[in-house]
Amino acid sequence: MKFRILIIEHSLSQMEELKTAFAQSGTMERFYEASDGSEGLQILKDKAVDLIVCNATLPDMDGLKFLKAVQTIPDCIHLPVLFVASQAQIDYKAKAFDLGAQEFLIRPFQPEDLLMRAKSLVRIKNTYEELHKRIQDLEKNSNVDPLTGIFNRKYLVDAMKVELGRSRRHRFTLACMMIDIDNFKCVNDSFGHRAGDHVLKELAQRLGQQLRGYDFVARYGGDEFTVLLPQSSKGGALALAERLRHVIASEPFLKREGRDIPLTISIGIAAFGGSEFNNEEQMVITADRALYEAKQRGRNCIAIAETLDSFRVEPPNLSCAIKK
C-alpha cells in the first residue's frame, strides 16, 4: 500500500528521520513537507494527501490549533492526523484525541511502529471513503429513475416539501406541472416497448433542456412527468408549458433510429403561493386535475388551475415557439 504523506516538522533532523522511515519502507507514493502549520494548511488546500504526520508543537501554532484549522478544509475533514511529540508534550495527547487526532506517537520511536500506525490510519481512511462512495451511490440511485436518468417520484415528493416550505417563508409562487404523453400506448403497441423506452428517455431530455437551473423534472410514473418551478408565476409557468408543448410536438421522436414518431403532450399546471397548498399531495392533485381537463378537451393542450377547484384550458398555440 502506497500513500501520499504531508509531514509538518520544523526540525530538520526530525524531518529527515520521518522521511527516511517512510522512504525505506517503500510506502510513500508522494511526499510533501512543511516547516510550520501555515505552510502545511496551504499544501492541503492545493494537494491531495492520505495522511498528515505533524509535530505537536509548530513555530506558528500548536498542533491543536492546526488540527482545528485542518477540519475547516472541506476535503480534509476526515483526513487522518498522526501527531509526533516528545515525552514533555504528552499532555497534548488527550486534547488531541478529543479534537479528532487518530494517533499520537512519543519520541523516541521505532520506525516500524511509525509505519504500522501510518498504514493503519490510511487503511481506515480508504475504507471510510469506499463506504462513503457506496452510500452516495445508493442515495443517488434511490433518487433517480433508472430508465430516463432524471429524478424519480420519491425525490419529487421530498423536493416538494422543501420548496413548499421555502414558498411559505418567502411568500413566492410555486408552480407544478403534470405532463402526460398523448396516446403513448399506441407507441408501445405499434413500435414495441423498447421504442417506447427510447421515447421516454428522449422526452425527458427535451423537457430538461428547457428548464432553468433551479427547476427540475421528475418521472412521476409510466409516461407521466412532473416539473417543479420555484419562484414561477402563473404567467411564467404557462409560457414554459407552451414552450414544452411546442418542443415535443414540432419534432418527431426516434429520427436517429430511422423512425418518425410524432407525439404530443398534455399539461396541467398548479401555480399558487405555498400557503394555499396544505401539502405536496394537494399540489400534485391540483395539477393532475388540470391535466385531466387538458386531456378531456382533446389533448395537445394546457390547462391551468385558476383556483384549487376551477381550471382554464389553453388550446395549442402552434405559432407560439417561445424562445428561452
Give pTM, 2 decimals: 0.58
- Judging by beta carbons within 10 Å of its beta carbon (0-12, 13-18, 19+), is residue 166 exposed, middle or buried? middle
| Percentage, residues of the chain above pLDDT 90 | 52
Sketch out the chain's domains with CATH numbers. Answer: 3-142 (3.40.50.2300), 153-314 (3.30.70.270)
User: Lowest-pLDDT range, 66-80, 227-241, 281-295, 301-315?
Assistant: 301-315
User: Any idea which residues carry the catalytic annotation?
Assistant: 223
- Does the pLDDT of residue 311 top 70, yes or no? no
Alpha-carbon distance of 143 to 101, in angstroms, equals 35
Alpha-carbon distance of 250 to 318, in angstroms, equals 9
Contact 56, 84 (CB under 8 A): yes
Reported as a pLDDT band with limits 50, 70 and 90, residue 219 is: very high
Alpha-carbon distance of 45 to 167, in angstroms, equals 37
238-258 as b/e: b if 16+ CB within 10 A: bebbbbbbbbbbeeebbeeee
Ramachandran angles phi, psi of 241, nearest 5°: -60, -40
Cell (9 digits) for 215:
427547476
Q: What is the pLDDT of residues 13-28, one digit of tens each?
A: 999 999 999 888 887 7
Q: What is the pLDDT of residues 33-61, one digit of tens each?
A: 999 999 999 999 999 999 999 998 899 99
